[in-house]
Amino acid sequence: METIIAFGWGAVTMFYVGMIVVVFQLRKSVKQLESDVMDTDGTLAEIFKTVIQKEKETINYVDTLHNTSENHVNEIYRYIDSRFDKFENKITNKQEILKG
């Protein structure tokens, strides 16, 4: 009878020792996973900042292109308008010469 009780206590003790080892291994794994999650979170924050910065740079570049193209178009309109005014003046002068 004592042998069975001693065997039972030994089995229970080994079970608890095994559980303690498993708990410590799980705790170590959880800490490693927490560290990995924090690193990933930091990396994602950096990527998000970079994306926002690139978005702002792209918007500024597009605005600059738009302003530049608008200025070029306005210059072309001014040039066409001045050439048309000169042409109109020549026609008016020729009509006055023919009448007068």
Whether the per-residue pLDDT at 97 is higher than 80: the answer is no
Condensed to tens digits (0 to 9), the pLDDT of residues 3-30 reads 888 888 989 999 999 999 999 999 999 9
Structure pTM?
0.57
For residue 91, the model assigns a pLDDT of 84
CA 42 vs CA 8, 30, 46, 52: distances in Å: 51, 18, 6, 15
Whether the per-residue pLDDT at 75 is higher than 70: the answer is yes
